[in-house]
Amino acid sequence: MDFNTRCIHGSKDKYDTTGAVSVPIFQSATFSHPGVGESTGYDYARLQNPTREYLEKTVAGLECGCDAMAFSTGMAATATLMEVFSPGDHLICSYDLYGGSHRLFNHISVKNGLLFDFADTADISAVKNLIRPETKAVFIETPTNPMMQVTDIEEMAKLCKKHSLLLIVDNTFLTPYFQKPLLLGADVVIHSGTKYLGGHNDTLAGFLIVADKELAERMRFIYKTTGACLSAFDSWLLIRSIKTLPVRMERQQETAMKIAQWLTEQKKIKKVYYVGLASHPGIEISKKQSSGFGAMISFETECCDTAVRILERVEIIKYAESLGGVESLITYPMLQTHADIPEEERLAKGINDCLLRFSVGLESAEDIISDLKQAMEG
């Protein structure tokens, strides 16, 4: 089945006998047993729920994994994944990473005995140099948040295979519509389903998709035991959203390209970070491993005043955290998503008081541009 069709018809399994075209919301915490020692396949909703299962099968299919687990948030997915590791295990992560993942690793996972090193994962040799006998995994985002650095997934997967490390890819920014890390050799894909998969800025969700059956079984055991599962209703919202994932991604990307180009021509804008611009250092790797550049743009204004002015004066665009939805959102990484990162480290990454991160929504490019224009100049 083609990707577009899979988004609509997800899983072939039938969960309903009425012919309902929309998957029913099974709002049931528990399921009765037909006989002693017998099960309908559903026992208790933390373990299985038919609506969530439909969603999980759909997402596993889209990412080409053997299993997918739906979580209440993206962070719940990452935190649950950390349970496969043991005290003393060492992980190498992208230097430029979603702020919440940083907070989890540095403030919670370390307390549980996990060890972390951060590297510019766009540079494979930088990762190679950090590998030691305790190293168990490499955790990357590509493109990264918010600096849009691109890592060669296939090359990283080769390095990981050689050293028996798990390669974990946070695929939130591109979604399987544009990039399928498991087909490039990654072992686990993470999503904040809150972003493009949910796509409407109205639902929190997260996913783990696993390539290998054995690891999937271990993850399932942890998942059903720790319990950060997605509710039936939110699962249904995600099923509904994924049906339009391809058209949303296409249009949002098309608009992002126009806006990125327009930004490069503005005197008050110093730098534009968008993977689809010819000047972006990661464009060639991106073309090799992804079928699109996505719709996330970061840009640096010529002074802090302009950045603040944009945030305070935009009207159609909302000054809010999050990304990937139909509404365009602009955020201030320094104060929001990356506030917990020590200043020196943050500045070294380029996250300064002039940097804004822009998630392009489904409004018209013309309206978005005139909103940015009036905010900058007004």
Ligand X SMILES: *Cc1c(COP(=O)(O)O)cnc(C)c1O
Enumerate the active-site residues.
46, 98, 170, 195
CB of 194 or CB of 201, closer to ligand X: 194
CB of 194 or CB of 252, closer to ligand X: 194
Cβ 303 to ligand X, closest distance in Å? 27
Q: How many residues bind ligand X, per CB under 6 A? A: 16
Cβ 332 to ligand X, closest distance in Å? 15
Cβ 142 to ligand X, closest distance in Å? 10
Cβ 98 to ligand X, closest distance in Å? 4
204 sits near ligand X (criterion: CB under 6 A): yes
Among 149, 172, 201, 253, binds ligand X (CB under 6 A): 172
195 sits near ligand X (criterion: CB under 6 A): yes
Buried b (16+ CB within 10 A) or exposed e, 62-83: bbebebbbbbbbbbbbbbbbbb
Two tokens, residue 7: 């988004």
330 sits near ligand X (criterion: CB under 6 A): no
Cβ 100 to ligand X, closest distance in Å? 5
CB of 141 or CB of 152, closer to ligand X: 141
Among 145, 179, 201, 235, binds ligand X (CB under 6 A): 145
Distance of CA 161 to the CA centre of its chain: 23
Distance of CA 258 to the CA centre of its chain: 23
Q: Kindly identify the residues of this chain, within the stretch 223-252, that bind ligand X according to CB under 6 A.
A: none
CB of 54 or CB of 105, closer to ligand X: 105
Among 61, 74, 146, 361, binds ligand X (CB under 6 A): 74
CB of 50 or CB of 206, closer to ligand X: 206
Cβ 140 to ligand X, closest distance in Å? 11
Two tokens, residue 256: 């992002």
Q: Is the dihedral of CA 376, 295, 353, 124 positive or negative?
A: negative
DSSP 278-328: TT-TTHHHHHHH-S---SEEEEEESSHHHHHHHHHH-SSSEE-S--SSSS-
- 17 Cβ neighbours under 8 A, 6+ residues apart: none
CB of 204 or CB of 215, closer to ligand X: 204
Among 51, 94, 192, 301, binds ligand X (CB under 6 A): 192
320 sits near ligand X (criterion: CB under 6 A): no
106 sits near ligand X (criterion: CB under 6 A): no
Closest residue to ligand X in the complex (CB):
74
201 sits near ligand X (criterion: CB under 6 A): no
Report helix, strand or coil for 138.
strand
100 sits near ligand X (criterion: CB under 6 A): yes
E strands in the chain:
67-71, 90-94, 115-119, 135-141, 166-170, 188-192, 206-210, 269-273, 296-301, 318-319, 329-331, 355-359
How many Cβ atoms sit within 10 Å of the Cβ of residue 369?
A: 16
C-alpha 212/C-alpha 228 separation (Å) is 22
Asked whether 159 and 127 are in contact (CB, 8 A), the reply is yes
Mutual orientation of helices 232-242 and 50-63 as an angle, nearest 10°?
40
Integer Rg of the chain from CA: 21
Interface contacts to ligand X, rule CB under 6 A? 73-75, 98, 100-101, 141, 145, 170, 172, 192, 194-195, 204, 206, 323
